[in-house]
Amino acid sequence: MAIVKKLKFTKPQLKKFARLFRNARIRARVTQLQVAQAAFDYKISHCKISRVERAAMPNVDAHCLERMANVLSVPRAELIAIDPQFRKRANVVRAATRQGFWDVPAKLLHPV
């Protein structure tokens, strides 16, 4: 993964992510972008969205990125620009929400 710039953690941000990704990863000095990417993966893999909710909120990817950008205190566009993987995953998820979330193979949502 090509990291264009490293973002700094603030204490409130660190607390929010520590709940999900445990202190060991943070002590291992993962970059904020890597934590954000893990948060994005976690959010997508745990989106158990009903058809009704999907109709009410079709842009699950936009919601995920927006929420992550808010926690990281960076603009959503900047988050996408930092790593093209975000754009790729956002497009995959956008397509997934159009055709039905559970029809999409897991390897498309989580490329290795």
Task: Calculate the dihedral angle through the C-alpha atoms of 53, 112, 85, 13, rounding to the nearest 10 degrees.
Answer: 70
pTM to 2 decimal places:
0.28
Tell me the C-alpha distance between 15 and 19, whole Å.
Answer: 7
The pair of structure tokens assigned to 96 is 């997934």
- Report pLDDT digits (tens) over 3-43: 445 556 666 666 665 555 554 444 555 555 665 666 555 55
* Cβ neighbourhood burial of 44 (10 Å; 0-12, 13-18, 19+): buried
Domain residue extents for the chain: 11-109
- Contact 81/4 with Cβ under 8 angstroms? yes
Mean pLDDT score, 73-92 = 61
